[in-house]
Amino acid sequence: MNLREKLQKFFRCQQCGACCKREGGIVYISMEEAEKIASLLQKPLFVFLQENCKKQRGWLVISDSKFNPNCYLDSKNRCQIYSCRPKFCKQYPFVPEILKDDSSIKEEANLCPAIFEAINHPL
């Protein structure tokens, strides 16, 4: 079984927040996702958009390296919006940048304990 297959079979998010602290990451959201997050945070949508989002090339952004870099992590690195986290976050680590080859998967495993455990899972 190759690393990609092991990752797909054994990856279980530990909600450690490591993925939220990746260098250069940008989290885009849809308006529907913004509505769900605003509701969870008990904020009117317009307030949420004004305080927590920026527009970048026509897209809504809730986090990048300079804007809200730790996104919605609390003091224990737990995501405060995990139940309605954006599709972008739900897809992690199953994105082309990480899955492109074994070295990319291994590099990401240095950041994410759940990836590390998945690719080192005994068969």
d(CA 60, CA 65): 15
Q: Are 3 and 105 in contact (CB under 8 A)?
A: yes
At residue 18 the predicted structure's pLDDT band, cuts being 50, 70 and 90, is confident
pLDDT at 44: 98
d(CA 123, CA 116): 14
Instruction: Report yes or no on whether pTM surpasses 0.95.
Output: no
pLDDT at 77: 87
Q: What is the pLDDT of residues 25-68, one digit of tens each?
A: 789 999 999 999 999 999 999 999 999 999 998 999 999 888 88
The residue ranking higher by pLDDT, 69 or 35, is 35
Tokens 């759940």 belong to residue: 114
Residue 70 confidence (pLDDT) above 90: no
- Residue 76 class from Cβ within 10 Å (0-12 exposed, 13-18 middle, 19+ buried)? exposed
